[in-house]
Each structure stands twice: as C-alpha cells, then as structure tokens.
Structure 1
Amino acid sequence: MKYCAIASGSNGNCYYVAKDDSAILIDAGINSKHIHLRMYNLGLLPTQIKAIFITHEHSDHIRGLSVFAKKYNLPVYITKGSYDGTRLHLPAHLVHIISHDEVVEIGGLKVYGIPKYHDAKEPCSFLVSDGTYNIGVLTDIGRPCENVQHVIQHSDVLLLESNYDEEMLRTGRYSYFLKNRISSGWGHLSNRVAVELFNAYKTDRLKHLILTHLSGENNTVDLVQQTFEPHCERIQLHVATRYQETELFDLKLVLENPVTSFSIPSALSS
C-alpha cells in the first residue's frame, strides 16, 4: 500500500491511499488545479484514482470535489447528510450514498466508514484495508469515541488530527463563538487530547503516525512534534503541513525500516 497527505490543514484536506492499480482519495478540499499540481509533484496520475470518499460537507474537505470528480468521471462515496450539506449538484451517476458505517470495496481495498463526533450533518472518518494492513484516517474529531479508539487499536498506519494548541486557542484572536465551536467536543482535537488518545490506544502493530489537520492560527509544527515525539520511540513520525504535500510513503518500506529520524524544513515549522 502507498499513501500520503496531498493536502492537510484547516485550509484544505486531501489524502491518497493506493494498492497496486487501485487508488482512492479521501476528501478533495483544495481546488482541482492544486490537487493536480501536488499529485504531479508526487509522480501520481489523476487517472489512477478510482473513487473519492468524503468525510463531511465542510469546504476544506470538498472545495475541489465537483471539478475533479466530473473531469475524471469518478464515483463519490458520501453519506446522505453530507451530500445534502454540500449543496453540490453532481451528476447522479457519480453520487453513491453510503451509511456512515458502510464498507465499500474498490479494487484491492476495503474502505470502512467510521462514525464520529463533528459539527456536520452525517460525518464519518475512514479506515482503508488491503485485508492485511490498515490505514486509519482520523480528522475532524470533536472528541474521542469507541469508533475512533477501535481504529487506532487496529491501524498499522495512522493519520491523526492534532488541530490546535489549547493555550494558543485560548489567548488567540478568534471570536468566543469560534473558540467554543473548536473546543466544544464537536469541533477538533487539541494536541493534548490527541496525544492522550494516541497513547491510550496505540498498539505494537502501529508503525507510522502522521499528524494532520493543523490549525494555521492556533498550532505550529514544532509544538506538534514536541508533543508527540517522546511517545514515538518505535514509530515513524511525520507532521503534514498546510503548505505542501507529504512524500509518498510505501508501507512495505515503512515495515522494513520501522523508525527513521524526524525532520522537516525550518521554513514550514510555524
């Protein structure tokens, strides 16, 4: 399996998972032009994508969906609540309404819907499996629930939200309403809650952790790295930034080389 974050952050999210000739996107939250550019940077062809799975209707998860899906005639798997919330009018043959705990097979991949808490109409996260290895993609988590805990326990690779630093949010310029929305249990996971969740439910099978969906206003890469690095002694750690795609990871290589040093360009650390 191969995987990466094409885009990750409060300004847009798009994640790629592939097995042989079957590739999917989870969310399409940057515009179609930038999806193409970032895929090109990684040597990926848009024609390799077989389907798009949408977690929920917020703009940072669907901004490029309509143009990209229609250009390549891609099926879009989405809950009814999320699709109604998008207010998009995709061609009917592209829209595949799923329940938020459904299992969908795309080539050699099984994609499991994971119900979660978030302030959207019918949101879900996803776990992608090839029958042997599992990749969990958990963003926009208002608060941990048993579904989220279960994914962490069964993931070989985990893309986990670490959205905000609590002190930065508390003292920052956001309105009271927005601060409360983010931290209410229906918004996002703070660095503190995310690392507590990670430590409580990670298992020995977890080999790679990618921290995702960082706030541009209330978090930094350095803070996230400092929070998680002490807890990743035998786990590869990367932080996906809002500025560029991650590298394309190959799970086979990750399993063969379970720990590498953490590094990130200093220009991207704030």
Structure 2
Amino acid sequence: MPRDRRFEHAMAEVHRYIRALMARARERMQPQEEPRNLLEAMLVLRDAPGADITDDDVAANVMTLLVAGEDTTATSIAWALLFLGTDDALQARVAADARHALGDAPVCPTYDAMRALDSCEAVCTEASRLHPVAPYLSFEPLEDVQLSGVRLPAGTKMFMLNRPAMLDARHFADAARYDPQRWLRDRRRDGDSDAPTHEPRAWMQFGAGPRVCPGRHLASVEMRLVASMLMANFVARLATDPANIHEVCAFTMVPSAMPMRLQLRDKPVASH
C-alpha cells in the first residue's frame, strides 16, 4: 500500500540519519578522551579491542533512545491531567507555581526557571505511582544465578510487577491517595522520625541500578515543560466522567481516553 511504502521510506531516512549521527560522533571524539554522552560511550565500547558489539547494535540503541521515551512521558502527563482536571484547588496551586516560574512567558523561558517547577513534575510522578505507565519490567540473567534461594538459569525471562511496591503502605503513607505533595516534602532527610512514610526507591517507573532508564532526566524536564505550559495558560477540565477512563496495557499502560476541555486563563475563549 502507498502508506506502507511511505513508512518504509521514512524508516530508511531515520536509519540514514542515525548512521550519520554515529559518524559525526566518531569524528568529534578524541583519542583517550572520556565520552561526553551515551552515544559516545556506546561507540567507545563498540570500538574497543575484542568487542562483540556491532554498529547495528549501537544503531538499534540509538533508535530506542530517539523513539522509546515519547509514549512514557506523554502518558504520565495524560494521567496527571486526570487528577488536575478534577481538582480545582490542586490545579490552582500548580498554575500559580507555573506562572510564577514562567513570568510573562507562555512557555518556560530558561533552564533556571524549569528547575523551579517541582510541583509540575510531582503531579506527573504521583499520577504514575497510581497508574504506572511501565507496569512491569522484564529481565534476563546472562548467567546462572540464585535469587533468594531460587535458581535462575541463564536466559530465564522474568517479569517484575511495579505497582505492588508503589501501593504498599510500608513505602508510602496513605498509599491509595493521590498526593503529589508527598514528592515535595521528604522530611525524613532532616531526621524527622515522625514524617509520613515515603520511600522514593519504591517508585520504579524508570527502573533502578545499572539498567536504569538513560532518558529519565529528559522525561522529567519534558513533564515540567508541558505541565507548566498547560497550567499557566489554561484552565483544564476533564470532559467525561472519570469512571469512563480505563487502564489499557499494551506494553505501556495508557488511558482508554483522556478528553480535556481547555479554556484560556486570561480570556473567555475556549479551545479543545
């Protein structure tokens, strides 16, 4: 079909771009110099003597970095809108924080301003705790191991469910309640033993350890930028009964729908 041929042509262009990106990175890299980004780190490993990694392997990982994180970030924002669009007081607080950081600008103007948008990230983080965009992580041991007395031969496919830990009262106080404020006050860092239970390591949206998502910081920046733009400029209302919104798991867990009605904060003109 014509659309299939257009897709194949577009994919060929993407792959040519990735190879050119790799070539430019190699030209920039100086001998004995530490890699400055993830692409350079992969190329250093690829070019090391005896490496069993190919250019195809590097290109496949670059492709993942280019396209894999978009749906996770967008879905986190969508779930946050479910709560923002049904809680006027919460939306007013986040909107005030966003407008204070943005000033007169319609979007976040500087990196320093973005750093002040903690509440915009918190509403997305807390939404994905209750509605995890990545509800499970898959792992495969490269060699025979034992985990808590269970033998796991090399190549065993394991799927770890994330939500039980994120809804466990041992990790989060009042775990079933949507409370973005919990991400803005971890008083236990100040030695307050009476602070509400809050274990951020139990929030597993980006994994952990050596396999943690390399795009996690970019995702947090994107969530801050989009949420602040929406809250600073629009009043958002959920345009359906929340009971009509269901979780749909297709690798990532997305809402079945998230219809929002946006009204400009400074003008009575509505846009959808």
Class of the TM-score when normalised by the shorter of the 2 chains: under 0.3
The structure number with the bigger radius of gyration is 2
Return the TM-score normalized by structure 2. 0.23
Return the TM-score normalized by structure 1. 0.23
Relative to total residues, which structure has the larger strand share, 1 or 2?
1
